[in-house]
Structure formats: structure tokens, C-alpha cells
Amino acid sequence: MCGIVGYIGDNKAAPILINGIRRLEYRGYDSSGISIIEGNKIFSEKSVGFISELEKKIDGKFREGTLGIVHTRWATHGAPTIDNAHPHIDCTGKISVVHNGIIENYNYLKAKLKKEGHSFKSETDSEVIAHLIESYFEGTLEDAVRLALKDVEGAYGVAIISLDDPGKLIAARRGSPLIVGIGEREHYVTSDVAAILEYTKEVVYLDDNEIVVLTRDNMKTTDINNVQITKRVDEVQWNLDKIEKCGYEHFMLKEIYEQPQSLRDAMLGRFEKDSNHVHLGGLIDKENDFRNTRRIIIVACGTSWNAGLIGEYMIEEHLGIPVEVEYASEFRYRNPIIEADTMVIAISQSGETADTLAAIHEARKKGAIILSICNVVGSSIAREADCGIFLHAGPEIGVASTKAFTSQIAVLSLLTLFLAKIRGKENVLNNELANKLKEIPVQVQTILENEDKIIEIAELFKDSNNCLYLGRGYNYPVALEGALKLKEISYIHAEGYPAAEMKHGPIALIDKNMPVVVVATTDKVYSKILSSIEEVRARGGKVIAIASEQNNEIAKLVDHVLYIPETIDALVPILSVIPLQLLAYHMAVMRGCDVDKPRNLAKSVTVE
């Protein structure tokens, strides 16, 4: 949600900043802006809409400046207008600030600053930071920033430059990610490594309440009380091809096609040689806790929540440990019951979702042990958890999550096998879960090879206004995920339901204009789902079934069938969701939607 890039060094800042912020456009794209210090002037430019609009505006300007900041916005306080776009500038016109996050006490601060004579140009919470810094400025920018941030309540990732203390790029974080990139006689700051990967892989992840002062040659990190901190330098493991489209029309399609590989990467090095025993490096030292866990609570949002539901079914089926799945946003405010032997699993692709982060804070307060399942290494949730498992899916840039979802299920399967090992559940280790999991990447590949049939179906239903998705058992969360994909990127109203619940409401909506996607693989509840299909057909609804490839009868009962390979029930979701991802993708593209940047959505929701 929103993106920040800052640069200080020997090179011209403008192209670096624009290049970087373009890579973060997937995080927010309603407006953008840039400030660059050139000679003894600070130049700023802002625009509404995509970054390409900003690029047009600055074409040929800012030729020489080697210090600057840029921002892409996803509006929270105030509409996407030029005035509300960042950077925000103080009254003197010398201090320029970009901000991610939310300043919770901005109304109070704004009123106070106004009384002191400051004049505001925007409706944003962020602008107060620029004026606060101005009010504290006595010659040293970092001192003023420190004092200003002490007044601020809420979350921030900020980058600041000032004409009165040039040669410095200052950044600070609390609750909103910020990363420093180290180059040759240059430094970068960004809210997401993707922005700077082209220039450096050496990074430092800032922690909450840290302030960093960057000059061309130096980096100094302190806490908010000015106590110096030594930071570790990490190396980013991704390559540039991971953040480029590589010939695909959209990132989403590329990421759908990456799934055979991302699933292999989720398993890589995690099975002991020729065995079903799983080794998870991030859980070393925690085996005792896991042996004694009597209850698991999974907290997550969006697609990650849907994956969590599959985790619930899987862990309960294989290990008999009670699992609850909670929306992180609900969990954090409802005084949840956590006992000494409760484990909380936070699932988050980005590792930055504000509600999930707050949920783990709540769980920690109550003494739970916290395990994270994240994709982004170095993310807040991954770092704050007691232990964790990374997805290793590579960066996911399409706003609609695809490969992260299937990797989350794969990792939940690995976790199930790991827990089975340490809890002595030999029957689970010897059953089919491990072997079938190893077959999954090849099976996903075969589904991708049948894209043409999915395109035909997309063509038939692309003009629908509504769509219902049904599934039972392990395929119920898949129905939710299929519906979520469709509504996110095509703006067709879509609902996912447990198939039998259709009778309790959605059936009233069914007529000949209602496509109903039924995930009807040959599993424990197959005969039950056939009844739901009959009920839809009896009311004229059009049924698109996702079925197992050995199923010879279903084609006679439904309008269209998309076949997937056979596997065990617990792993079916990894396969059954693939046609639904492609269906949503193609319907959205046919409707002319921008699938990588769907309206109003953000890839990583770092505000409540």
C-alpha cells in the first residue's frame, strides 16, 4: 500500500527514482509525486493517476539532482488529487516528506500546527509530518525528524529531504516497512526491495522506531532517542527476472504460470533425502513447543485467510489438533482466548498486512507462541514471529494473489508433516500426503497446458453480472478463493459458498443468467456435491464444473467441465484453484480490466 523510494549518491536521482517507483506501482497507483534537490533548489512535481503521468510531467526536468524522494499513493485520508499526493512540503518550501502508514493523531496535530501559523495544502494525515519537522528544525534535519516523530501516533515509513540540511536523506519506520539499499558511493531507501533490486542486493531492514541518516558515503542508524544501533547487512536472494513480466502480458499471468516452480521451491531442501520426513529450518528449537501444542489459531486476511481454512482442515484431519481460522481484523479486537499451549499461525504473503501484524501483537501479549508463514523475507510479520516458514515463491506483484496461495497450501502440508514427525504420528508420515505433495508441481503444469478450454469458457461468461462458486470440504475454501479472484480483477459480483449452504439463500438468485462454478472433484463429498449441481440445473443455472480427470459421468450433468489430475483430498485445492485463477484472469482481460492494478485494491494493506 503506497510506495516510497529515495536516493542519494553520485548518479542522477530522477531516472533511478522513477524506475524504482514504477516497480512499486502495484502497491498503490492513484497518484504520485517526486522531490529532487538540485543545486540550491528543491523541485517537486505531482500527478494523479499512474506513474506514467508523473513521468510525462517531469520529462526533461530534474536533470542534475542526485538526491531525491518519490512516492506512489493509495488514498486513505483525502481523495487522489494533486494536493493530496506526496511529497508534502512544509510552509518554507524547503522540507519534503513522503509517508506510508497512518498518523492517528493527525487531527490534533494539525489543529495545533494551524494555531501556530502553519498553513496546510492537503487533506492528508501525512502533511502534518512536514510541518512538525519544520516547527522543530534548528539546523539539523535528523534532530527535527526525531522530535517530530515523537509527537506522532500511528504507523509510518517516511523519507525526508531538506534544502536547509542538504546532502542527507533521512528515513524512519514504525509499523510500515522501510529498507535501505547500499550501493557504491550511494544509498537507497525503499518500502519494497523490488524498487532497488536493479541497483543493489545489499540491504538493511529497518526496525520499528529506528531513524537512519543516509549520506552518499555513510549510513547512521539510531533509535528514536538517538542511541546508535548497529545494523546487519543482508543480501536479497531474488533476481531481476522475478520482478519483470518476461514476455507475459501481465504479472498475474506470469505468476500463475510460475506455480509449478514456486511449488517446487516451497518444498526445496525440506524433505530429508528419500524420506517423508520434513525438515523446516525456521522451526528448529521450537520442537518442544510444537510437541505440546493443544490448539492452533490461524490469523490472516484475504487470500491468506482462504489458505488458512485449508490448513485447518488438513491439520485437524491428519493430526487431530483443534484449529480455528480467524480474520486477523476480528481477532485483534475481540479478546481471544489463548492458553499456554496455544500456537498462533500468522499467514501473510507480504508479511506487512496491518491487521495480521496487530493480531500477532495481541497473541503475543497473551503468551501464545507465534509461527509465521510469509513470502517476503525480512517482512515485519516474519521478523516479529517466534519462528517461521517462508514460501520462497519469489515476489508476487499481481495484486490478486495466485502463486502465494498455492505455496501457502504446500507449506501448510509441510507443516502438517513436520508436526506429524515430532508428535510421532507415523501413520501420517506413511500415508500419501508427502508423496502426493511431491507430484503436485507436475500436475499443476498439466492444468496450465489446458488453458485454451478455460479461455473458451471465459468468452462465454465474460458478460455476466454475477457468479456463484460452490465447493465442499477442502474445496469450500477454493470456492471462496475462486470468487475472490473473479471479483477482485473483473469486478463481476461473485460469491463463494459451501455447496450445501446454497439452499439457505443463494439459490434464490439462480436463473439462466447465473453461472455457477462447482468444484466437484472426486472426493469424500462428491455425491453430495452432485445434488447441488442438480439443484442449480433445475433452476436453469449454467454449471461449470471443476472435476477429476477420471470422471466420465459429470460431463452429462453440467454445461462445461474443466478437468484436473487426481490427488488426495487435502491437496486438491492446489490443483482445483488453478483453472479458477485462469478463468478470472481471462474474464477480466476480456472485459478490458487492468488485472495487475485492479481499482481500489492494494497488494499489501498496511493500514487498518
Q: In sequence order, what are the beta bridge partners of 222?
A: 211, 228
**Positions 514 through 573 that interact with ligand G6P (CB under 6 A):** none
Site membership for ligand G6P, residue 407 (CB under 6 A): no
The residue to which cell 474474464 is assigned:
587
**3 is a contact residue toward ligand G6P (CB under 6 A):** no
Closest approach of ligand G6P to the CB of residue 432, in Å: 29
Sign of CA dihedral 456, 467, 577, 564: negative
Strands 31-38 and 67-73: antiparallel
* 169: β partners: 214
Whose Cβ is closer to ligand G6P: residue 108's or residue 333's?
333
By beta-carbon proximity to ligand G6P, the closer residue of 460 and 601 is 601
Q: Which stretch binds ligand G6P (CB under 6 A): 70-78, 189-197, 298-306, 563-571?
A: 298-306
Nearest CB to ligand G6P, comparing residues 255 and 386 = 255
CB of 396 to ligand G6P, least distance (A): 8
Q: Among 132, 301, 397, 587, which residue sits at the site for ligand G6P (rule: CB under 6 A)?
A: 301
Nearest residue (CB) to ligand G6P, 590 versus 601: 601
Place of cell 490443483: 575
200 near ligand G6P (CB under 6 A): no
Whether 2 sits among the annotated catalytic residues: the reply is yes
Instruction: Provide, rounded to whole angstroms, the least separation between the CB of residue 256 and ligand G6P.
Output: 14
Per-residue contact flags (x/-) with ligand G6P for residues 143 to 172, judged by CB under 6 A = ------------------------------
Rounded to 5°, the CA angle 162-6-356 comes to 115
To ligand G6P, the closest distance from the beta carbon of 298 in angstroms equals 12
Peptide bond into 87 cis (omega under 30): yes
433's grid cell: 500426503
Partners of residue 72 on adjacent β-strands: 3, 32
Q: In the chain, count of helices (H) and strands (E)?
A: 19, 25
Shortest gap between Cβ of 607 and ligand G6P (angstroms)? 11
Helix, strand and coil in the chain, % to nearest 5: 40, 25, 40
Q: Which member of 2, 387, 467, 593 is catalytic?
A: 2
Locate 32 and state its grid cell.
Answer: 504520485
- In sequence order, what are the beta bridge partners of 298? 325, 345
> Which residue stretch of 129-137, 179-187, 299-307, 440-448 sits at the interface with ligand G6P (rule: CB under 6 A)?
299-307
Binding of residue 464 to ligand G6P (CB under 6 A): no
CA dihedral (201, 204, 207, 211) positive or negative: negative
Instruction: Note whether 100 binds ligand G6P by CB under 6 A.
Output: no
C-beta of 400: minimal distance to ligand G6P in Å?
6
Binding mask 317-356 for ligand G6P (x = CB under 6 A): -------------------------------xxx--x--x
Sheet containing strand 202-205, edge to edge, reads 41-48, 31-38, 67-73, 3-8, 186-190, 179-183, 202-205, 234-235
Q: β-strands 323-327, 228-229: how paired?
A: unpaired
Q: What angle do the packed helices 403-422 and 302-319 form, to 10 degrees?
A: 30
Say whether residue 581 binds ligand G6P (CB under 6 A): no
Q: Which is nearer to ligand G6P, 272 or 330 (CB)?
A: 330
Give the Cα separation of 446 and 575 in Å (integer). 10
Binding letters toward ligand G6P, positions 584-603, x by CB under 6 A: -----------------x-x
- Residue 449, C-alpha cell as written in the block: 497446458
Taking the least distance from each CB to ligand G6P, the nearer of 352 and 535 is 352
Measured distance CA(334)–CA(355) in Å, rounded = 13
**Contact call for residue 76 and ligand G6P (CB under 6 A):** no
Our finding on whether 303 is near ligand G6P (CB under 6 A) is yes
User: Can you tell me which of 259, 475, 490, 604 binds ligand G6P, judged by CB under 6 A?
Assistant: 604
Write the burial class of residue 77 (CB in 10 Å: 0-12 exposed, 13-18 middle, 19+ buried): middle
Which residue, 348 or 407, is less far from ligand G6P as judged by CB? 348
Q: Under 8 Å CB-to-CB from 426, ≥6 apart: which residues?
A: 420
Is residue 388 a contact point for ligand G6P (CB under 6 A)?
A: no
| Least distance in angstroms from the C-beta of 493 to ligand G6P | 17
Residues whose CB is less than 8 angstroms from the CB of residue 49 and which lie 6 or more positions away in sequence, other chains included: 29, 30, 31
Compute the least distance from the CB of residue 303 to ligand G6P, in Å.
3
Q: Are 68 and 41 in contact (CB under 8 A)?
A: no
Distances 233 to 69, 208, 215, 405, 580 between C-alpha atoms, Å: 22, 17, 17, 30, 41
Please say whether the beta carbons of 178 and 172 come within 8 A: yes
Q: Which residue is nearest to ligand G6P (CB)?
A: 302
Per-residue DSSP letter, 501: G
Calpha distance 445→591 (Å, rounded): 26
The single residue among 161, 572, 605, 607 that binds ligand G6P, judged by CB under 6 A, is 605
Q: Does 190 bind ligand G6P (CB under 6 A)?
A: no
CB-wise, 17 or 300, nearer to ligand G6P? 300
Measured from the CB of residue 401, what is the shortest distance to ligand G6P in angstroms? 4
- Under the binding rule (CB under 6 A), the answer on residue 402 touching ligand G6P is no
1 binds ligand G6P (CB under 6 A): no
- Interface residue with ligand G6P among 65, 68, 87, 302 (CB under 6 A) is 302
Site size with ligand G6P, rule: CB under 6 A: 16
> What are the residue numbers of the active site?
2, 603
Residues contributing to the site for ligand G6P (CB under 6 A)? 301-304, 348-350, 353, 356, 399-401, 601, 603-605
